[in-house]
Amino acid sequence: MRETSFIQLAVVVAAGSVCSIAHAWQESVGNAIAQPVGASPSNAPAPAASDPQAVQILEACSQAIRQARAITYTGHYKPVGGMIEGALAQKRGSVKMLRVPAEGATPGPEDPFVVLVSAMDLKNQAQIDASFQSGTIEWLDQTGKKLMERPTLDPAVRNKITQGCKELRRTSSLKPIPIVPTLDKATALMGTSETVDGVECDAVIITRQPNRTERWYIASTDRFPRRIVTVMPGGNGEIILDLSGVIIESSDTPSLTPAMMRLSLPAGFAEDRRTAPPPAPRSTNMANPAANPNPNSQPGHTASKPAPIAPPKPPEPIVAPDFDLVVGRGIEGVATGSHIKLADLKGSVVVLDFFGSWTLAAPKWHADLKALASDNSSKGVKFFTLNVREKSGENAIAYMEREKVGAPLLMNADAVAKAYGVRVYPATVVIGKDGKIVELIQGSRSGGESKEKVQKAIEKALGEGEAAKPAEESVPTDKPADPK
């Protein structure tokens, strides 16, 4: 009897340990939604300083993901070592990611990804297929022979099939700004480079308080990850996600289409779809009180016409934080070694370009920026490039010479970028003559969209074009038309 009780106790303890490990892994991988990544008890030691090179590589990885319109790879999810190796199942299959803009909208880096996963649970020898759309999730129920679809927040979507498919993708890569926000209260250090899937990769070790560690192996070519290793707490093994056969498409017309990202209905399967109900229509028949009776009105009283709702007041413009930076490479009229203070530029429209020579998107964007400077310099608009997170200032100067960027280079602008709230590079800020921010464009892209946004912001700051018209011109009035 004692022996039986002991065995039962051991099983319970082991099962609890596996659940704890799995829960810890879910926190480390899903992260960032329930609480800020790296959140730790107040008495936990502060993280060590990050290596600037490691941060640059992660930011370049974030940029590569943001620039991509479509991503395809084969994922291999492997629990290795400790208790998790037998408790969690290996999975292998194809992952397709496509950015889908809103209907009629111009494609941009903020467009959300839809994700299609078709894989095999190698432990249970079971096929798992799921499609993560905007607002709903589809999956194939092989047992019930059904193609299911439910709203994303429906409890039914949390099942072995959809959760298994999620393990082959990376949640932090699906965020509007991938990866970089997860560095808050974390340390990023360089590890030992490795070749993964035939590609030379830089290794970055991310440590979050109190004991969460990941190793990211990021290709030195396209800066997309090829391996992500999550170290389980307490020496209980590692979760390895390998990404092979990676194809990245940055064109606004990639080979994938939204129709290709839906699950096909297999022969013999039935459809069981329930999507989110549409919002209740808002009544517009305000002129007829009888059609919209007021339950609180008294008999014999006619419901009064409700007062019109005033439009929300636009936010007040933000005053651009001041700075004083050294010119690392000057142009005619701005000497190398001199200082530029934003306060001294008041009265002029100013365009600030935050970038790093490590930014993959910088050369193409600076071609557009040169055209903007050429078109607007005669109007007194002043352009400056501000270098951020550079391992060596010489790298930035060499870049400016090589790309022939015709704007003064201001050095060591990390603190300035933080003050302006810049998180994605290159980023462009347009400042009006009054010293207030007109527009902040995060992650400036070539191809015309960002260039057009900057040009419109400049015109607004100069008092030109449609953007500069006073707001009262567009406000309708009840004044009858002039009979003349």
Contacts of 227 (CB under 8 A, 6+ apart): 194, 196, 201, 215, 216, 217, 240, 241, 242, 243
Task: Tell me what pLDDT residue 105 has.
Answer: 84
CATH number at residue 419: 3.40.30.10
> d(Cα 416, Cα 375) in Å, to the nearest integer?
27
Please tell me whether residue 107 adopts helix, strand or coil conformation. coil
Find the mean pLDDT for residues 389-409.
91
Q: What is the mean pLDDT of the chain?
A: 81
> d(Cα 171, Cα 396) in Å, to the nearest integer?
33
Backbone angles phi, psi at 67, to 5 degrees: -75, -20
Please tell me whether residue 139 adopts helix, strand or coil conformation. strand
Q: Kindly report, residue by residue over 48-67, the tens digit of the pLDDT.
A: 688 989 988 998 999 899 98
Which 8-state DSSP code applies to residue 413? -
Task: Tell me what pLDDT residue 130 has.
Answer: 97
Task: Tell me what pLDDT residue 82 has.
Answer: 83
Q: In terms of residue numbers, what domain contains 204?
A: 47-273
Q: Band the pLDDT of 475: cuts 50, 70, 90.
A: very low
132 token code pair: 């993560």
Is 230 part of a structural domain of the chain? yes
Residues 248, 146 within the same domain: yes
Are 347 and 431 in contact by the 8 Å Cβ rule? The answer is: no
Is 39 part of a structural domain of the chain? no
- pLDDT of 43 > 60? The answer is no
List, in sequence order, every residue forming a beta bridge with 178; answer none if it has no partner. Answer: none
Residues 259, 351 within the same domain: no
Are 240 and 91 in contact by the 8 Å Cβ rule? The answer is: no
Is 56 part of a structural domain of the chain? yes
Please tell me whether residue 50 adopts helix, strand or coil conformation. coil
Is 368 part of a structural domain of the chain? yes
- The candidate with the shortest Cα–Cα distance to 366, out of 388, 331, 341, 399, is 399
Find the mean pLDDT for residues 353-360.
89
Find the mean pLDDT for residues 302-323.
68
* Residue at a domain's end among 238, 273, 308: 273
CATH number at residue 83: 2.50.20.10
Which helix (H) or strand (E) segment is 19 a member of?
A: helix 2-30
- Kindly report the pTM of this predicted structure: 0.59
Residues 53, 195 within the same domain: yes
Neighbours of 482 (CB within 10 A): 5
- pLDDT of 469 > 50? The answer is no
Least confident of 70-74, 84-88, 320-324: 84-88
Task: Tell me what pLDDT residue 19 has.
Answer: 43
Is 252 part of a structural domain of the chain? yes
Residues 263, 328 within the same domain: no
For residue 210, cis peptide bond before it (omega within 30 degrees of 0): yes
Least confident of 44-53, 194-203, 235-244: 44-53
Residues 269, 343 within the same domain: no
Are 428 and 444 in contact by the 8 Å Cβ rule? The answer is: yes
> d(Cα 208, Cα 182) in Å, to the nearest integer?
9
Residues 89, 175 within the same domain: yes
Residues 360, 450 within the same domain: yes
Q: Band the pLDDT of 276: cuts 50, 70, 90.
A: low
Neighbours of 170 (CB within 10 A): 21
Contacts of 32 (CB under 8 A, 6+ apart): 171, 172, 175, 181, 182
Neighbours of 19 (CB within 10 A): 11
Please tell me whether residue 64 adopts helix, strand or coil conformation. helix
Residues 428, 333 within the same domain: yes
Compute CA 31 distance to the chain's CA centroid, rounded to the nearest angstrom. Answer: 14
428 token code pair: 């462009």
- pLDDT of 389 > 50? The answer is yes
> d(Cα 397, Cα 356) in Å, to the nearest integer?
11
> d(Cα 168, Cα 92) in Å, to the nearest integer?
8
- pLDDT of 18 > 90? The answer is no
Total domain count for the chain?
2
Is 300 part of a structural domain of the chain? no
> d(Cα 67, Cα 360) in Å, to the nearest integer?
10
- pLDDT of 300 > 60? The answer is no
Find the mean pLDDT for residues 242-248.
96
- pLDDT of 28 > 50? The answer is no
> d(Cα 72, Cα 301) in Å, to the nearest integer?
66
Is 9 part of a structural domain of the chain? no
- Which bin fits 375, alpha (ψ -120 to 50), beta or left (φ > 0)? alpha
Task: Tell me what pLDDT residue 58 has.
Answer: 92
Are 454 and 426 in contact by the 8 Å Cβ rule? The answer is: no
Residues 369, 255 within the same domain: no
Is 66 part of a structural domain of the chain? yes
Task: Tell me what pLDDT residue 481 has.
Answer: 41
- Which bin fits 468, alpha (ψ -120 to 50), beta or left (φ > 0)? alpha
Task: Tell me what pLDDT residue 471 has.
Answer: 39
- pLDDT of 242 > 60? The answer is yes
298 or 368, which is more confident? Answer: 368
Find the mean pLDDT for residues 354-378.
90
- pLDDT of 68 > 80? The answer is yes
Q: Band the pLDDT of 44: cuts 50, 70, 90.
A: very low
Task: Tell me what pLDDT residue 234 has.
Answer: 79
State the amino acid at position 353 in one-letter form.
Answer: D
